């Protein structure tokens, strides 16, 4: 058994993943999972590569701080405000929050005639974004809201959006050569993504205003419009529930997405024999182009609130009652909100992003990787979409042995937050975190990131010595 | 036939009659709409409630009998209250479908729909009860009652 295990480790690869849930996972070798970052990475020198599984989760933003006991959530299933997490009181006027959870695999990557490279993989993704909530309004929400002054205070909301979706994807990738010599290779690739929308929920508030007096749980003189859309039975999984409970009430809305990319490998010859691999690699890609059209629940649409008093004191998340029933009975019949438009379909955009990546071989065992992730989706109250956070990552990587590599990704994002993580590749297994050092050294963490996975690399047969002599 | 057999026969007959009488007097639990059409009783065997929006919330109740249909539509639904037909877009109609006489639809010229109860009856359902009456050019619909469920997911 040990021999088999050791053999497996020896033939396995250092693997890569994708942003955002796999931030910092930028290894040297191509793999079926790396294709999700850039389809041109489908090229490899192996006979076949297999991805068994990969799971990555990242929660962040500038609105919440987490205590280390937040991980009790994994066993208890609940996280409580002011106990496991609390408000992040900072000077940023707009609060945002995101959560990404991605399950990858299985997948397979193979080549035909050493020129045509194909990858097929499946995955499930949960994406949640909340953007543009003013600091003042944020402090009114949740348990133990920050006490306001005794005077009548005014609040405004502008371009606020919150969108969550769960979907499954089948990725079919192809990569081929644009230019190929022994020293330089330029490849292009594309991935067609067949998407199965499991569930989605979103709200956008273009403009709204209200007044609060002594924090009595009542919004006075409320005015504004809210766009609201969700798939049937979203109450079972959205807001405070396990998002993968959406599988139990799957809506099965099909969509199509696209990734495109190119990679340039530089491997200048310095000796008689051509070395495998590369000295420098540049890659660029645009991923997650497209959207999913979900069939919306019958109460989805636009609602207007006009000079209304809203008692929000007792609004609680009730997992049992459907959103449709609550909206109908608590807001429409109670004359709180007036429908102004209907919505039969809910189009939710994928987190389209530009990826620029460069990998430098500094020493035979030492690499430095630079990655720029640029978000191409602007959050909007008028459109439902998810997005990543623009992030720059520098990752030094050292090959300790033939099968063990360590990497230390340093990331800096558009929210002016810096994180130091760590990744270890041990044969077929990788485990990492984009913010491990925050997790280890602080009990007020603004980013939770963790990922792990397993891949298998089936190498090409070695060329026999006799064949080499004949060449 | 001895007395014992006669007694059993009578008891059985009594139970059948009692059951039949009970069914006649008490509407079954799934009765959704009933009315009197030109002095003849009318009952639905199926119904549906749908909503549409913007501006305002439109509630439509459809009830079908074997070869006829009653349709009630409230243009700006606000729960319990009286909605006058032909006022602010509230409508009602009676349609008959016949293989010989053909299909005919009669739109109400006057009448009212009264919502007496709008209650959340389960996690995903709202129960709406009420009454209605309306007149068309040739059909008189009176004593209308409905007890329908609106499914909202």
The Cα–Cα gap between A197 and A291 comes to 10
The mean pLDDT of A240-253, rounded to a whole number, is 88
Give tens-digit pLDDT for A75-130.
776 778 888 888 888 888 899 999 999 999 899 999 888 889 999 999 999 999 99
Are the Cβ atoms of B123 and A299 closer than 8 angstroms?
no
With tokens 């008891």, the residue in question is B11
Residue A148 is predicted with a pLDDT of 58
Q: Which of A418, A432, A409, A433 is nearest to A357 (CA)?
A: A409
List, as ranges, residues 240-269 from A with C-beta within 8 Å of B: none
Helix residue spans in A298-353 (DSSP H): 323-326
* Pairwise CA distance, residues B133 & B36, whole Å: 9
Look at chain B and count its residues: 153
pLDDT tens column, A412-438:
999 999 999 999 999 889 999 999 998
Answer yes or no: are the C-beta atoms of A260 and A283 closer than 8 Å: no
| Chain A neighbors of B148, CB-CB under 8 A | none
What are the 10-residue block averages of pLDDT along chain B, 153 residues in total?
46 40 37 91 92 91 94 95 88 90 90 96 96 95 96 93
pLDDT on residue A464: 54
A360 pLDDT more than 70: yes
pTM score of the predicted model = 0.87
CB contact under 8 A, A233 and B153: yes
Mean pLDDT of A143-168: 83
Chosen from A327, A330, A332, A334 to mutate, greatest number of chain B CBs within 10 A: A332
**DSSP 3-state of A123:** strand
B120–A339: do the CB atoms touch at under 8 Å?
A: no
- Determine whether the interchain pair B53/A341 forms a contact, defined as Cβ–Cβ distance below 8 Å: yes
Contacts of A418 (CB under 8 A, 6+ apart): A410, A411, A412
Mean predicted confidence (pLDDT) in A320-324: 93
Max CA pair span of chain B = 75
A322 part of contact set with chain B, CB < 8 Å: yes
Q: Is residue A106 reached through a cis peptide bond, with omega within 30 degrees of 0 on the bond before it?
A: yes
B149 vs A contacts (CB less than 8 Å): none
Q: Which of B79, B123, B153 faces A232 most closely, judged by CB atoms?
A: B153
Note whether A332 contacts B57, CB cutoff 8 Å.
yes
What is residue B72's predicted lDDT score, i.e. its pLDDT?
97
Alpha carbons B7 and B16: distance in angstroms, whole number: 14
Q: What is the pLDDT, as a whole number, of residue B9?
A: 45
pLDDT at A93: 87
Q: Is the pLDDT of residue A10 over 60?
A: no
Is B120 within 8 Å of A233 when comparing Cβ atoms? no
Q: Residue A252 — left, alpha, or beta (φ > 0 → left; ψ -120 to 50 → alpha)?
A: left
Contact B50 A333 (CB under 8 A): no
Write the DSSP string, A398-432: EE-SSSEEEE--EEEETTS-EEE-EEEEETTEEEE
> In Å, how far are A16, A189, A193, A200, A379 from A287, measured between CA atoms?
15, 11, 10, 20, 17
**A329/B118 touch (CB, cutoff 8 Å), yes or no:** yes
- Residue A316, class by beta-carbon neighbours within 10 Å (0-12 exposed, 13-18 middle, 19+ buried)? exposed
* Spatial distance between the Cα atoms of A413 and A435, rounded to a whole number of angstroms: 12
pLDDT at residue A149 in the model? 59
Instruction: Residue A452: count other Cβ atoms within 10 Å of its Cβ.
Output: 18
Using an 8 Å CB-CB cutoff, list chain A residues near B124: 233, 321-322, 324-325
């Amino acid at each position: 058994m040990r021999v088999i295990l050791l053999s497996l480790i020896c033939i396995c690869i250092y693997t890569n993943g994708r942003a955002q849930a796999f931030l910092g996972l930028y290894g040297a070798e191509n793999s079926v999972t790396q294709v999700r970052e850039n389809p041109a990475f489908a090229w490899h020198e192996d006979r076949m590569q297999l991805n068994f599984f990969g799971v990555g989760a990242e929660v962040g933003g500038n609105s919440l701080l987490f205590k280390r006991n937040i991980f009790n959530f994994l066993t208890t299933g609940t996280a409580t405000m002011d106990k496991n997490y609390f408000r992040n009181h900072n000077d940023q006027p707009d609060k945002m929050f995101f959560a990404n959870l991605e399950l990858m695999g299985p997948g397979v990557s193979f080549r035909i005639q050493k020129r045509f490279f194909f990858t097929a993989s499946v995955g499930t993704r949960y994406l949640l974004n909340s953007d543009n909530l003013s600091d003042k309004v944020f402090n009114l929400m949740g348990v133990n809201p920050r006490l306001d002054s005794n005077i009548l205070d005014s609040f405004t909301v502008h371009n606020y959006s919150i969108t969550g979706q769960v979907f499954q994807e089948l990725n079919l990738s192809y990569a081929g050569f644009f230019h190929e010599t022994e020293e330089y290779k330029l490849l292009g690739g594309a991935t067609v993504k067949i998407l199965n929308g499991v569930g989605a929920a979103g709200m956008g508030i273009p403009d709204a205003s209200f007044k609060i007096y002594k924090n009595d749980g009542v919004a006075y003189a409320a005015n504004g419009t809210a766009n609201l859309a969700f798939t049937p039975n979203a109450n079972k999984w959205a807001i405070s529930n396990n998002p993968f409970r959406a599988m139990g009430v799957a809506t099965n809305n099909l969509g199509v997405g696209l990734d495109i990319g190119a990679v340039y490998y530089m491997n200048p010859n310095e000796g008689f024999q051509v070395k495998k691999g590369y000295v420098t690699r540049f890659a660029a890609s645009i991923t997650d182009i497209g959207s999913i059209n979900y069939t919306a629940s019958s109460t989805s649409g636009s609602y207007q609130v006009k000079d209304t008093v809203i008692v929000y004191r007792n609004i609680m998340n009730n997992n049992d009652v459907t959103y449709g029933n609550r909206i109908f009975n608590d807001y429409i019949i109670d004359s709180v909100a007036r429908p102004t438009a209907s919505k039969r379909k809910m189009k939710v955009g994928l987190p389209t992003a530009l990826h620029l990546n460069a990998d430098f071989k500094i020493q035979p065992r030492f690499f430095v990787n630079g990655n720029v992730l640029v978000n191409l989706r602007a959050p909007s109250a008028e459109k439902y979409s998810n997005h990543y956070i623009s992030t720059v990552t520098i990752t030094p990587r050292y090959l300790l042995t033939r099968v063990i590599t360590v990497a230390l990704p340093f990331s800096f994002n558009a929210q002016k937050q810096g994180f130091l993580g760590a990744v270890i590749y041990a044969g077929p297994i990788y485990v990492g975190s984009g913010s491990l050092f925050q997790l280890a050294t602080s009990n007020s963490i603004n980013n939770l990131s963790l990922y792990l996975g397993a891949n298998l690399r089936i190498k090409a047969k070695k060329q026999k010595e006799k064949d080499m002599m004949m060449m | 036939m001895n007395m014992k057999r006669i007694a059993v026969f009578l008891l059985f007959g009594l139970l059948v009659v009692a059951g039949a009488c009970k069914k006649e007097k008490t509407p079954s639990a799934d009765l959704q709409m009933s009315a009197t059409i030109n002095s003849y009783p009318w009952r639905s065997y199926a119904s549906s409630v749908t909503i549409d929006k913007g501006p305002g919330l439109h509630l439509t109740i459809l009830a079908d009998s074997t070869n006829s249909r009653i349709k009630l539509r409230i243009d700006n639904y606000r729960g319990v209250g009286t909605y006058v037909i032909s006022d602010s877009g509230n409508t009602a109609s009676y349609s008959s479908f016949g293989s010989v006489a053909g299909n005919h639809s009669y739109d109400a010229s006057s009448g009212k729909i009264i919502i007496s109860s709008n209650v959340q009856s389960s996690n995903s359902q709202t129960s709406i009860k009420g009454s209605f009456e309306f007149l068309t050019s040739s059909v008189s619909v009176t004593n209308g009652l409905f007890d329908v469920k609106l499914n909202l997911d």
